[in-house]
Amino acid sequence: MKPSKLHPPVIILTILTTLTAASGAFAATQKLDEQFAKLPHFYYDYCAPWEPSPYDVTFNPKATLALAVELQKLGHEQAITQLREWAQRPDGGKIIPLCRLLFKPRAGGAFRSPRLGHYDTLPLTDASEKSLVPIAIVDGIPFLISKLHILMDTETPAREEDYLKYCETECDWNPAIYRNATDDEISSAAAKLLASASFLNDTIRKYWAPFILKQTKPPEPRKNPVDYTVMTPAERKSALEKYLDSKFDMAGVPTEREADFYEILELLSSDQPRILPRVLVCSATFLSADKARLSLFNGHNVGGQIFMKKKGRWVYLGGYWID
């Protein structure tokens, strides 16, 4: 039997159908990428100088939930493929809350939280809510319930791709179907979350209530810091050196690490004066090829901040102050 031949119009129609499908898939992927890019940076992923400091609310329940809904529509395998791609980005840390939403513990197993360091967490009585730290899910809506993650000099945060791999190999895909939430539903869930705190006192009202309730409002616009890219190298150095204490000794910074040092200063400068009115760097120590500690003085207290070079860029890991 001779193979059937396709007439030219049929061939053209087949090609157009294939191209249309490919174009639609590309557009859908591009839309997801745009949604992911708009999510606020998560924890230590302060990959651009103007991203929020760890003292800011850096979570958008509505946008995070909307992205989880879209990923579920893709199906298990395609969604994981997309998460793997995002994990390789400089802002890949944003997959962490998505992993907590989209995976669940296996029968009789645990669903450990990502290793992000030491943190403060909203005290909850519901063990199921606490088990999802750093988020809690109330009425199908995620909220950030942990903040101020701090890593010591000897600690290294878990990489996003490692945590995703753990979820893939040790957990199951969550069969619960999420849906987009209205502003009123998000506000109601936030109130329920605060009501479920293990105790209601001034700590909850003054410290945690503003943090949780701020997540129910549209993100506040941020002003970008000084644009160092338009400066000459000499102008940039001069602008950044205003953050050095008068007793700071540049001889303590190895010549081969000067570029790294000024990049860290640029990152630190982006948090002025939101963390404290005036912070000066007293000394700098490079703990390894990709980790550094700056000793700081704010006029009253001494402290320090830890930075790590992650995916080619220096990012903030944590800090402390001593009264």
Of 166, 156, 94, 97, residue with least CA distance to 132: 97
Q: Is 300 exposed, middle or buried (0-12, 13-18, 19+ CB in 10 A)?
A: exposed
pLDDT in tens, 66-116: 999 999 999 999 999 999 999 988 788 899 999 999 999 999 888 998 887
Contact in structure between 87 and 160 (CB atoms under 8 Å): yes
pLDDT above 70 as % of the chain: 71
Write down the pLDDT at residue 45: 45
Half-sphere exposure of 204 toward its Cβ, with a 13 Å CA cutoff? 13
Write down the pLDDT at residue 215: 93
Radius of gyration of the chain (CA): 23
Write down the pLDDT at residue 150: 54
Write down the pLDDT at residue 280: 86
Q: Provide the phi-psi class of 299: left if phi over 0, else alpha when psi is between -120 and 50, else beta.
A: left
What is the SS3 assignment for 117?
A: coil
Note if the pTM is more than 0.75. Answer: no
Separation CA 141–CA 203 (nearest Å)? 24
| Beta strands in 85-126, from DSSP E residues, in sequence order | 103-105, 118-121
In Å, how far from its chain's centre is CA 205? 25
Of 142, 146, 179, residue with least CA distance to 61: 142
* Residue 8 preceded by cis peptide, ω within 30: no
Separation CA 32–CA 42 (nearest Å)? 17
Q: Which residues of the chain have pLDDT under 50?
A: 21-23, 44-55, 153-154, 273-277
Separation CA 168–CA 39 (nearest Å)? 23
Write down the pLDDT at residue 322: 60
Write down the pLDDT at residue 228: 85
Q: Which amino acid is at 75?
A: G
What is the SS3 assignment for 180?
A: coil
